Structure 1
């Protein structure tokens, strides 16, 4: 009986450092983050490279993950120190030393026992039955005519209502911006125009209706030297530096999410 399957060299194979392999196994990464990390490893170590320029669209094609979700996963991996990128969104990516990783603790919720549904038990039977509040009317004549007692009330199921969309947490998003990007101009006044722009971005997609998305979004901005004003302007002009209003504008928002902006 053959225990070890031999490597088929003619079909190619990728070697992985044991420390990196074991670190990825034990890291509390999300499934999406792990898949993106493996795609990056395939495009670097798979070609004997320490780092490589890898487009988010290419990883999306490899993994079947949407491009914007790949960009967010890359941003998270950079933030947790798993990978590094020297420069903007089009710069080479490589794996950082395992000892420098700072993985978030994701599984912090304690397991709670499942609640047992309440039920009534008959004194004469072992069959459980659900309690109900149906009113019975026993004040009837032999002909079945009610003679004055309360009539039996019919239970009418209320119409199913569409759940209301959660209101946009304007201030929470602004707070995330200030926390992640203290180098950029602060938001002093949360006026109606800014609220309308935030509400529009919040309602555009179910993905956007999550403060975790906004934390990742601002993290992606921080990873870009261009958006942070660290790239010299053309012809001696001042470097461009993103502002809160610029980041929440419709066209700019899409560019940042997809990594489709240029210095």
Structure 2
């Protein structure tokens, strides 16, 4: 018996370009991203359209059904933005504008790495016993010029965290203790403030460490502003005010943690205050 079903008996079909089909097979997309891409293809090629204007909620209904659509809408929206950032999809404008596929040779798919979502931080006490402390939610309604007093009263200053986390102890009197930059905490602040609008940082690469270190040591008007935790929150909050950086442009491009920690980007924000 043949396993080929005649198309006339299927009740309809959606054609897929071979190059697109093979590109989707080979692309290192997450499961949700692939399902979103297939939904967009169904809504475009399936209805003989080059592009489609569709809400994330409608795609969520296709993927999860009516019962779970509302709770999954934000995840679908992030997947759409991720596909646009990786140039798999293209949308000329905001979330209400039509969306379509770009040619596979223009795709810039990120390699995926499975990591656990950070929910805890570790600090070293004076008794050299590791103590687990939950990361508290922070107030993100801040600016670099005016930081609310509640932040200062509930959060540790990153300079203090760096001293607590340092595992290098001087061997001789007068030997300086090595300073450790709290990279994981800075990444957590970025994800908390920017994670809804910009790609989340899921892996701390050497390049990203170098860029964060550059911010940490940046001398701006005789001060080191990035040595304090509340300043990172304020800085990332101010970055979200730049509409071009959050995807409101003709390419659907969005900034990420690497872009926001480049010295040119940092100075552009600080000098505009």
Q: What TM-score do the two structures reach when normalised by structure 2?
A: 0.47
Point out the structure with max Rg over C-alpha.
1
Q: Which structure has the highest helix share of the two?
A: 2
